[in-house]
Amino acid sequence: MGPLPAFPQDYAAARERFRMLSAERGWLQEAHPVAASGHDEWDLTIDAARLGPAGAENLLILSSGLHGVEAPFGSAVQLAWLESLPRAWQPPTGWRILLLHALNPWGFAHLRRFNEDNIDLNRNFLEASAFDELRRGDEESNYRRFDRHLNPPRPPGRFNLFPLLAGWMIVRHGKRRLRQVLPVGQYAFPKGLFFGGHGPARSTQIVMENAPRWVGSAKRIIHLDFHTGLGEWGRLKLLSVEAPDAPLMQRAMELFGRESVEPHGGPTAYASRGDMGVWLSRRFADREYLCLVAEFGAYPAVHTLGALRGENQAHHWGDPASRSYRRAKERFVEAFVPRSPQWREMVVRQALRLIDRAVGDAG
């Protein structure tokens, strides 16, 4: 394999390259606009590209950028894979491929985890009727006690004191409790971290509305959703939404190796609400829908949470022209997509091998 292509410079460049590479290779393309203030209607789109016969029984879905700041990585994987395919390449017999590029295009364009409304899209995949009750529950919940520490209403300071604060919170509330409460999603604090929204976001609606058409008559679906930031430096974990003894877990372990697949609620993942994979697996419960978050680790969890907190503070309360804003943003981007060439090479190569294994399963 030759040298890896560079990570895309920004959202616009990534999208242009995605469209060009998939068009050159004869993929069917579509684009779905996500409106946001400060942008023209077609500035921000979720792009899809499809290849293979409509009636194929097997479908591989590769999706990127549900968390915007992680999108340069997921997009780089999609671009590198497309680039590696000969122009006349067709999926193996019985297979169809669907690429979903930049599920959170605003977050990609602005390098935020969250979307144009501060919504964490991987906490937002719920029916519209579910949000009110969740909000009422969370207004009284444990999250309230952490909110003032996690989301202080002021710009980030000169020094990052979060590790100290985190240590104090762990002593006071216990690590397990923090892990259960913090990243699972909250529906009551719209400026807070891991806010799941007051209703389905536009990106969520696009996926929910188009999923039946995209999945079509496929009976077996493998969906790899690319993420970064959780786990050990450069290491891959495939996070399943299935219970340890579920038949789909067995299939995942056979395909990708026992050591890299983690069941729902395993040590790396959080049992979050409004998870895209959970929604898709339930929606297509009559098929074999194996949804795996392909999560590539970077920095220690406390560091990453501190970076998330600082960026959220800067976004809501900081001045974009200030040094503290720029510092918070740089630290945040580095926490999810490190500049290290070794890290980048390691994660893209692993992701490409993963795709080969998924498609290779066809043979």
What is the closest distance, in whole angstroms, from the C-beta atom of residue 196 to Zn ion in the complex?
14
What is the closest distance, in whole angstroms, from the C-beta atom of residue 213 to Zn ion in the complex?
25
| CA geometry: angle 153, 156, 162, nearest 5 deg | 100
Q: What is the 3-state secondary structure (H, E, C) of 173-236?
A: HCHHHHHHHCCCCECCCCCCCCECCCCCCHHHHHHHHHHHHHHCCCCEEEEEEEEECCCCCCCE
Q: Per CB under 5 A, which region of 7-15, 24-32, 82-90, 223-231 contacts Zn ion?
A: 223-231
List, in order, residues 6 or more apart from 250 with CB less than 8 Å away: none
Q: Per CB under 5 A, which region of 104-112, 151-159, 195-203, 221-229 contacts Zn ion?
A: 221-229
* Pair of tokens at residue 333: 């981007």
What is the closest distance, in whole angstroms, from the C-beta atom of residue 186 to Zn ion in the complex?
17
Q: Which is nearer to Zn ion, 227 or 329 (CB)?
A: 227
What is the closest distance, in whole angstroms, from the C-beta atom of residue 70 to Zn ion in the complex?
5
Write out the binding residues for Zn ion, residues 44-83 only, by CB under 5 A: 67, 70
Instruction: Evaluate whether 313 touches 154 at the Cβ level (below 8 Å).
Output: yes
Q: Which is nearer to Zn ion, 227 or 273 (CB)?
A: 227
List, in order, residues 6 or more apart from 335 with CB less than 8 Å away: 229, 298, 299, 303, 304, 307, 308
Residue 102 φ/ψ region, left for φ over 0, alpha for ψ in the -120 to 50 degree band, beta for the rest: left
Q: Which is nearer to Zn ion, 67 or 309 (CB)?
A: 67
What is the closest distance, in whole angstroms, from the C-beta atom of residue 158 to Zn ion in the complex?
29
Q: Given the DSSP bridges, would you call strands 45-51 and 28-33 parallel, antiparallel or unpaired?
A: antiparallel
Evaluated on CA atoms 199, 205, 209, 213, the torsion sign reads negative
Q: Per CB under 5 A, which region of 34-42, 79-87, 187-195, 220-228 contacts Zn ion?
A: 220-228
What's the CA gap between 102 and 258, in Å, rounded?
29
Q: Which is nearer to Zn ion, 314 or 337 (CB)?
A: 337
What is the closest distance, in whole angstroms, from the C-beta atom of residue 241 to Zn ion in the complex?
14
Radius of gyration, CA atoms only, the chain: 20
Closest CA to 181 of 253, 260, 273: 273
What's the CA gap between 165 and 209, in Å, rounded?
42
What is the closest distance, in whole angstroms, from the C-beta atom of residue 51 to Zn ion in the complex?
26
Instruction: Evaluate whether 60 touches 220 at the Cβ level (below 8 Å).
Output: no
Place of tokens 């990106």: 203
Q: Which is nearer to Zn ion, 22 or 63 (CB)?
A: 63
What is the closest distance, in whole angstroms, from the C-beta atom of residue 104 to Zn ion in the complex?
10
Q: Which is nearer to Zn ion, 67 or 202 (CB)?
A: 67
Q: Which is nearer to Zn ion, 70 or 116 (CB)?
A: 70
What is the closest distance, in whole angstroms, from the C-beta atom of residue 191 to Zn ion in the complex?
20
Tell me the β-bridge partners of 95. 58
Q: Which is nearer to Zn ion, 218 or 337 (CB)?
A: 337
Number of Cβ within a 10 Å radius of residue 321:
7
Number of residues this chain uses to bind Zn ion (CB under 5 A): 3
Site string for Zn ion, 226-245 (x = CB under 5 A): -x------------------
- By the rule CB under 5 A, 123 interacts with Zn ion: no
Q: Which is nearer to Zn ion, 99 or 335 (CB)?
A: 335
What distances in angstroms separate CA 24 from CA 87, 278, 290, one per listed residue?
Answer: 7, 34, 29
Q: Using CB under 5 A, list all residues that contact Zn ion.
A: 67, 70, 227
